[in-house]
Chains A and B, each alone.
Chain A
Amino acid sequence: MRIVRARQISQVFFFLLFLWFCVVASVGEAWWQLRGWPVNWLLQLDPLVALGTILTTRTLYAGLLWALVTVVLTILFGRFFCSWVCPFGTLHHLVGYLGTRGKTLAEKAARNQYHGAQSVKYVLLIFLLGAAVGELLARLTHPLGLSPGQSRPSWVLLILALLVLLFLSLRKLSAQKLRTAHWMVVGVAVSILLACLLSGNSLVGASLQTGLLDPIPLIHRSVNLVILPLVDGATHKLAISQRFTLGAWLIGAVFLAAVLLNLRAPRFYCRFVCPLGALFGVLSRYALWRVGKNQSECSQCARCEGACEGACEPSANIRISECVLCMKCLDVCHEDLIGYRTTPSESGEVVSPDLSRRGFVISLLSGVAAVPVARLGGALGTHWSPMLIRPPGALTEEDFLKRCIKCGQCMRICPTNIDFRVGTSGCQYNCIACGHVCPTAAIRPITVDEKQGKNAFASAGPIRVGAAFVDRGRCLPWAMDKPCIVCQENCPVSPKAIFTREHFSPVRAGPFMVTSVQGVTVTFQGGDLRPGALATGDYVCHSITQEEQGHWKILENTERVLVLSPDPAQQRLPEPGDNLEIQIRLKQPHVDIGRCIGCGICEHECPVSGQRAIRVTAENESRSKEHTLLLS
């Protein structure tokens, strides 16, 4: 079998496997639903997920150990993942192939020329890792005595900054012309960084943003939150109602752009953007086997260049870090000069990524500095958004941001398509699916007992994701004198977190003067009531004249006649001459903040269907001490 055929089989296998995992990530008991399928496997194989979380948390969470397999294989064999496993790569491969069909060899070779901008992906990788590594750097500099509370003489900062600048300039400065602007940038960046980082600035932190561009999380969220809902919207095999995602358009736009860019250059994303590919490029530095020519001279037919997926210049100085091991050059070389071998290419190799030391430093420092800059908005502090409701089991926001790779698995698995405003219900009281599917434990895998605060967790109490607030200006019993209490009924907590207080509210018509009373039938003067309008079981009347008599329930009415309920507890009935006030008996909802878990079921069920009359915000969420409203 030709090696490219083997590669194609591998690509098809992993692509179908990926789609299969997306399909089976549905809560249910059928064999094709989530019941032990390793739906996170591809995410776990992704070493960028592993590396990112190691940098932010200094631990390697459970299944992410799988990434070691990928790392070892890449160190030994090169970027095999890109052309043999990566489902996003496979998609690009296919679309790139379609885009170059019918083109001449020269045109293809031109599109596959190495481009200097391919180093952008290294810049992105270093930048994203820089954002992740800030806290670790701060921790490593801790022994220098520069953290808050420790003595930190300002001259230490100065000397340190100078030392770094000196180191950076030592070798290159004499050989190259001094590019003042360039060095100023470095100098300023270093100074800013040192000033804010090493002084123990509280804004310095770790933010895991690799998932924005990491192809494995990217394709997971694109397929799970955009493609599947679109396809399943027609078939309803996976979900019985249309699934929605806020911001799906942006995910879809990024995905579409990444795919369409293959028409400009095959594997555009892999070559120019992919930070995972960049990481593989670095890791393949010492690959034992690599693609290369077994003699430097060849006919320069450019067939290999026309076929090349990685734009790695196989006919000349092959760039090992760009080679995605598509093996096409081996296949198309008429002279059979190219092989996958242990010896370097006879026509020369470029083993290192095309990224200068300066480029590296600037990307890294920018990444480190980006986090405190972004956090100047205060979103992690006093300006936190109460609209941001994280799932039950989510870590504190700061720790959450150290782990969330934005793969969207939690949103995919959520049986109620939660978003509180567009889901099929609130957070289901007995459901803990999201934490168990999260590949990085940004949402902890909790038990139902822990979620509900039962048994071993009774003293800790239930996990609260927020709290419900009644909007008394919109609530039917509060604002419109209409009975409702749907929110209370649907509250899943026992005893309910929503309780009601009885309130008698006079109706607009009345009071009326009683003219005659026969048994339980009361006739009054004036009045133009709609017959039967008071027969809902919620109306009562009481005598303004005989205050002490309390309320009589109304069974029936006509324009000016009321039939009262024969209540044995009631001693007397109204008398002629009494002034009767008709009231509606309301139960007005109140939230018991000590019991509300913020599940949002009340909000979902509220009949005020636009802006709900009871709404959940993240106030009082139990993951954050700062957001609590409780004293104990």
Chain B
Amino acid sequence: MIPSSKAQSATRREFLIRSAKAWASVAAAGGLSLWLYDSQAPRLSQEKARLVTLPDFSIPSKGGQISIVTGEDRVKTVQHALKILGGMEAFIRPGDRVLLKVNAAFATPPILSATANPELVGEVARLCFKVGASSVTVTDNPINDPVSCFTLTGLAQAAHSAGAQVVTPKKSYFKPTTLRGGTLIKNWPLLYTPFEDVDKLIGIAPVKDHHRSGASMTMKNWYGLLGGRRNLFHQDIHNIIKELAMMVSPTLVILDGTWTMMTNGPTGGSLSDLKQTNTMIVSTDQVAADAFGATLLKKTLLDLPYIGKAQAEEVGQSDYESLKPLRDHVG
């Protein structure tokens, strides 16, 4: 039987169309394979983010200054301690954007003094606004759950009622940093986002016993800027505190020795761990502040090697008396 020419041509056309599609598919598959072909095994992928560096927030003309005011009322003592250093206006200029790095490490109530005191932080924020600061931000990367920490410590409420904003750390806020001249802080995540667009930095920390380093004061407070698996640094605690002090040059540090945590630090947890020492220290020199703070803890510089190490790196002066502290009492 001879197939009709019409049917045949239809079949031929169909075949040609079909083969064109088939070859197009082959070409697509081949082209895609060649395009994606990779003869090399992949490299171990490790994040390579741009390194950030913290700016220097200190005011060079101020040099090393320290005021030590005794008294029970934190609001009064910090006001006075600042006043005898020339007032907050000596450090914060109108329009400045201020960052307060507080110690909010634990989700504990303020009465336990394991964290920066909310009244004190609120007052510092108010003083900043009073001299014209355009914004005040409070931040920390705590150990316990961040939101609980800022809530339970009363820091969030104190900050908000003073008009300051609270930045709780999110993963994206951390950027890697490397400390020039450091051996530990290398490509390490740093809580950096809150520092963007900030002109001044004030560290606020309580005086606390610390099992590993001996004491947690203003220098140890910068630990809360580290992200990642920062607990690894406990293997070399004194050098990491030294490097933190090298990395962060604050405008001011405020060391709150109204109540000192003498034992069971850094968490405390009981009023019996605390001792009323009624002292407020405000300084441009974190080493001097901590060296004085050690006396509240009845510790010597030999007990706290990081202070000597920081001085050796010229971060500050551990002989705080050489800075001629301005002392007073408000009752």
Contact = CB atoms under 8 A, between A and B. Distances in A.
B5 interface: no
Contacts of B277: none
A494 B269 contact: yes
B232 interface: yes
Interface residues of A, number: 44
A134 interface: no
B143 A490 contact: yes
Contacts of B272: 494
A560 interface: no
Nearest to A566: B302
B232 A500 contact: no
A483 B147 contact: no
A196 interface: no
A537 B238 contact: yes
B236 A536 contact: yes
B148 to A, nearest CB: 5
Interface string A63-93: 0000000000000000000000000000000
B144 A416 contact: yes
A496 B267 contact: yes
B147 A489 contact: no
Interface stretch (A173-181, A304-312, A600-608): A600-608
The size bracket of the interface on B is: 35 or more
Given A428-B107, A483-B212, A494 B268 contact: yes
A489 B148 contact: no
B169 interface: yes
Contacts of A476: 235
A415 interface: yes
Interface in A256-293: none
Interface string A569-612: 00000000000000000010000000000000100011101000
A105 interface: no
A536 B239 contact: yes
B148 A484 contact: no
B151 A240 contact: no
B270 A494 contact: yes
Contact of B147 (A415, A536, A607): A415
Max chain A CB contacts within 10 Å: which of B144, B146, B169? Answer: B144
B148 A485 contact: no
Contacts of A431: 107, 148
A29 B157 contact: yes
Interface string B123-151: 00000000000000000000111111001
Contact of B168 (A240, A425, A482): A240
B266 interface: yes
Given A240-B147, A489-B267, A536-B238, A565 B302 contact: yes
B301 to A, nearest CB: 11
Contacts of A236: 170
A60 interface: no
Residues of A contacting B: mostly: loop
Interface in A477-497: 482-486, 488-496
Contacts of B234: 483-486, 489, 607
Contact of B231 (A27, A492, A606): A606
B147 A537 contact: no
A429 interface: yes
Nearest to B152: A430
B315 to A, nearest CB: 16
Interface in B270-326: 270, 272-273, 302, 305-306, 309
A191 interface: no
Interface in A430-454: 430-431
Given A429-B108, A431-B107, A607 B229 contact: yes
Given A27-B147, A537-B305, A537-B306, A607 B232 contact: yes
Nearest to A242: B171
A336 interface: no
B212 A489 contact: yes
Contacts of B107: 415, 425, 428-431
A494 B147 contact: no
A84 B295 CA distance: 70
7 contacts: A29-B157, A241-B171, A483-B212, A483-B237, A485-B212, A486-B212, A537-B238
> Which 7 A-B pairs have CB atoms at the shortest separation, nearest pair first?
A494-B269, A494-B270, A537-B305, A607-B231, A537-B238, A416-B145, A486-B231
